[in-house]
Structure 1
Amino acid sequence: MSANATRAVGVDIGGTGIKGAVVDLSTGELLTDRIKVPTPRGAEPDDVLGAVREVLQRLEVSDAADVPLGVAFPAIVKNGRTLSAANVSDSWIDFEAETFFENGLGRQIHFANDADVAGVAEMRYGAAQGRDGLVILTTLGTGIGSAMIYNGVLIPNSELGHVHRAKHGKDAEAWAAYSAMERDELSWPEWAERLQWYYSHIEFLFSPDLFIVGGGVSKHSDKFLPLLDLKTDIVPAVHRNNAGIIGAAALALAGERRGILDDTTEDLADRTAH
C-alpha cells in the first residue's frame, strides 16, 4: 500500500446496499461510476465479502493492490474488529472484520464506522473543510449516527444517537431520527421540536464549533434546519449518499488511521495547542 497514493477505493456497506467507487484523494471526487449491489439477505460475513468482491471486480480494481481500500460499516469498529451490528447479521458482533476481509481479498484494507467516515468526508472535502475546533456530524435516517472530529482528528465510535431521553424512556434515535418522523407521521415543525431537544442536549454536553447534518433527509434541510435555535452553527452535509464511499477512501491509507488531515505530527500538535 503506497503512502503516496493519489486515489483509493471506498466501499460503503449498508443494510440494503453495498456501494463503491474509486476516489481522487486530493479532491474527494469520484473517478469512476458508483457501483451498487444489494446487500445479501441475512448479511452474513461470507456473503458480504462476496458482494464486496463483486463491487471491486466491476470497478476493475480486484487485482490493484497498490490502490488502497477503505470500508465503511454500520457498527462500532475498534482496531479492525466490529463490536456491534446494525441491520446486518449478529455474526458481526465481536468479529475480526478487517482481518477477515484482508484474507478474503488478498490486500490490506481499513475498516471504519460508517458515520465516522461520513464525518471524514465532510472534514476533508465538504462542509467542515478548513474548520478547527470540534465538529460533530450527525446522520439522520433509520437511526442517528455521529462522528466527532477535533482539530482534524477523528474521535471514533461516538454513538451519540444513543444518548437517553429520560422523559420518554427512549434513546435519542428512537425519538428524533428521521424514521421517528415517518413512524409518528410528524410534520416538519413537529419533527424539528424533537431535533431541537436533541441538538440542544448535544450542544450542552460538548459545546461544538459546528454541527453537520447528513443522511438522505439532509437534501430537505431547508424544511427543518431554519426551525432550530442553537448557539452552534448547523449546516447540511455536502456529500450525502457518497459520503461513506469518499470517507472510507480517505481513511484507506495506513497513515490516515491516526488523523484525517495531511498534517505532520508536529503540525497536529501545534493546531491542538492553539
Structure 2
Amino acid sequence: MDHPLGIDFGGTGIKGAPVDLAAGDFAQKKVKIDTPRPATPTAVAGVFRELVADFPRSAAAVGITVPGVMKRGVVHSAPNIDPAWIGTDADALFTEALGREVHLINDADAAGLAEVEYGAARGRRGLVIVTTLGTGIGSALVHDGVLVPNSELGHVQIDGRVAEQHAANSIRERDDLSWPEWAERLTVYYRTLERLFTPELFVVGGGVSQQSEEFLPLIEIETEIVPATLRNRAGIIGAALAASRAAS
C-alpha cells in the first residue's frame, strides 16, 4: 500500500516518513537530514529529493510543513528560514523537484491537524486551538476537524506587546522565569484567546509540553487545557494527512 509521505521542514533539521493514516503513525522509521545553510528554496528542494529517495518509490502525495505563512502554495513569511522563501511558489518548486503531487502546510497547522485527528483532541467537536510554545508561539484553529489555516495567534498584540515576544518558551528561558512567573504570562495570553474565540479546548505543544505538569495547572482560565501527545511526530503526521485530504 502506498502511504503519503510527510516532511517536517524546520530551521535545524528536515525529517520525513511515510505515514499510515489508519494508525496515525509512521509506516517506516523516519529519516532526518540537517537543514542546509543557507536554507534557500533550491537547497532545501535538494534535501527533499535526498530524503524521498531513502524510501521505496511511491506515487502517493507528499505533504510538507513550512515554518511560515502560505497562500495557495506561495510562501508569504519566513521568520526562521532564508528570506529568499518570501514570494516563492514552493508548491510548484517541490512538485517539479520530487516528481510527485505535493501539498504544503504551515508547521503549526500540521501539528494541529494531527493532534485533532490522532492526539490529545481526538474525538473532540467544536473549536480546538492548538498552540506550540517554542522560539515563538505557533497556533492552529480546527473546527469539527476542519482547519482554518494561517491563524498566527502568537502575533496577537496584548497590552501593546506581541504575545510571543512576552510569553514564548524562549522568553521564559532568556529571562530565567520561574514556572509560576511564566504561567502568569500564559494566563494573560490564553485568557485573551478565550475572549476572542471561546474554544472548547486548548492543546499545548512544543518541546516544553513534556514538562506540562510544571505550568499547565498554574494557568488560570475557564477552558480545558491539555498537553499535546504526538510531540515531535505531529508535523510529519499532520503534513501527510493534509496531503492525503488535498489529493483525494
Say whether the fold is shared (TM-score over 0.5).
yes
Letter in 2 for 1:214: G
State the match for 2:200 in structure 1: 209
The answer to whether the Cα contact below 8 Å between 2:63 and 2:240 also exists between their aligned partners in 1 is: yes
Please say if 1:238 is aligned against 2:229: yes
The answer to whether the Cα contact below 8 Å between 1:250 and 1:256 also exists between their aligned partners in 2 is: no
Output one character per residue of 1:83-123: Cα deviation in whole Å (capped at 9) or x when no partner: 11021111111210000100111111100100000000001
Please state whether the residue corresponding to 1:252 is helix, strand or coil.
helix
State the match for 1:262 in structure 2: none
Letter in 1 for 2:236: I
Please state whether the residue corresponding to 1:224 is helix, strand or coil.
helix
- Structure 1, unaligned runs of 5 or more: 258-274
The answer to whether the Cα contact below 8 Å between 1:12 and 1:248 also exists between their aligned partners in 2 is: yes
The answer to whether the Cα contact below 8 Å between 1:6 and 1:26 also exists between their aligned partners in 2 is: no
Please state whether the residue corresponding to 1:126 is helix, strand or coil.
coil
Cα 1:219–1:155, aligned 2, differ >3 Å: closer, same or farther? same
Counterparts of 2:3 and 2:225 in 1: how far apart (Å)? 31
**Alpha-carbon deviation of 1:7?**
2.2
Counterparts of 2:100 and 2:246 in 1: how far apart (Å)? 16
Output one character per residue of 1:184-211: Cα deviation in whole Å (capped at 9) or x when no partner: 1101111111101100111111000000
State the match for 1:266 in structure 2: none
Cα 1:134–1:254, aligned 2, differ >3 Å: closer, same or farther? closer
Output one character per residue of 1:112-140: Cα deviation in whole Å (capped at 9) or x when no partner: 10000000000111111111100000000
Please say if 1:47 is aligned against 2:36: no
**Alpha-carbon deviation of 1:256?**
6.4
State the match for 1:25 in structure 2: 21
**Alpha-carbon deviation of 1:55?**
1.3
Letter in 1 for 2:149: P
What stretches of structure 1 move > 4 A for 4+ residues in a row?
A: none
State the match for 1:117 in structure 2: 110
Cα 1:233–1:256, aligned 2, differ >3 Å: closer, same or farther? farther
Please tell me the root mean square deviation across aligned C-alpha atoms, in Å. 1.3
Counterparts of 1:235 and 1:35 in 2: how far apart (Å)? 29
State the match for 2:91 in structure 1: 98
The answer to whether the Cα contact below 8 Å between 2:9 and 2:65 also exists between their aligned partners in 1 is: yes
Of the three residues 124, 141, 144, the one matched with 1:151 is: 144
Counterparts of 1:12 and 1:36 in 2: how far apart (Å)? 9
State the match for 1:195 in structure 2: 186
Counterparts of 1:135 and 1:187 in 2: how far apart (Å)? 28
Of the three residues 69, 82, 88, the one matched with 2:75 is: 82
Output one character per residue of 1:148-184: Cα deviation in whole Å (capped at 9) or x when no partner: 0111110000000000122xx4200010000000111
**Alpha-carbon deviation of 1:32?**
1.1
Counterparts of 1:22 and 1:254 in 2: how far apart (Å)? 15
Greater shift in the superposed pair: 141-150 or 24-33: 24-33
State the match for 1:265 in structure 2: none
**Alpha-carbon deviation of 1:147?**
0.1
Output one character per residue of 1:47-104: Cα deviation in whole Å (capped at 9) or x when no partner: 111111111122x24x41x222100110111111111102111111121000010011
Letter in 1 for 2:226: V
Please state whether the residue corresponding to 2:32 is helix, strand or coil.
strand
Please state whether the residue corresponding to 2:128 is helix, strand or coil.
strand
The answer to whether the Cα contact below 8 Å between 2:155 and 2:164 also exists between their aligned partners in 1 is: yes
Of the three residues 25, 44, 62, the one matched with 1:69 is: 62
The answer to whether the Cα contact below 8 Å between 2:60 and 2:101 also exists between their aligned partners in 1 is: no
Please state whether the residue corresponding to 2:110 is helix, strand or coil.
helix
Cα 1:256–1:222, aligned 2, differ >3 Å: closer, same or farther? farther
**Alpha-carbon deviation of 1:223?**
0.4
